[in-house]
Structure 1
Amino acid sequence: MFEGGALALNAMHETRTVRVLKPFKVGPLPTGGSYIIMEFIEFGASRSNQSVISRKLC
């Protein structure tokens, strides 16, 4: 599941139309399950206007 999410995030990141988390690594955990490591983004004011972000994604 994280692999699919990482692929989607990378595709959105490459468009440069909206700022999204860049995934760095995904993989299985030795005890089961999996992990994803992503960059941290301070969203700030852009987070308050979800309609602008939604239009950028379309």
Structure 2
Amino acid sequence: MTYKITDECVACGACLDSCPSDAIVEGDVYTINDDCAECGLCVDECPSDAIIEE
């Protein structure tokens, strides 16, 4: 399973703080790179439900 950050993202940074593998890349649109360990912690922390399984 892989994760994707959708357009619902409000760039609050909650996912950045929760990611143990530093796989989330900041920008105008946040993205998840190949370093993702697929742990799902970012999904749990996202207040806008902007991270989905792909």
Kindly name which structure, 1 or 2, has the bigger radius of gyration based on alpha carbons. Answer: 1
TM-score (norm 1): 0.30
Please report the TM-score for the alignment, with normalisation by the length of structure 2: 0.31
- Structure holding more helix per residue: 1
Larger relative contact order (Cα-Cα within 8 Å, sequence gap ≥ 6) = 2
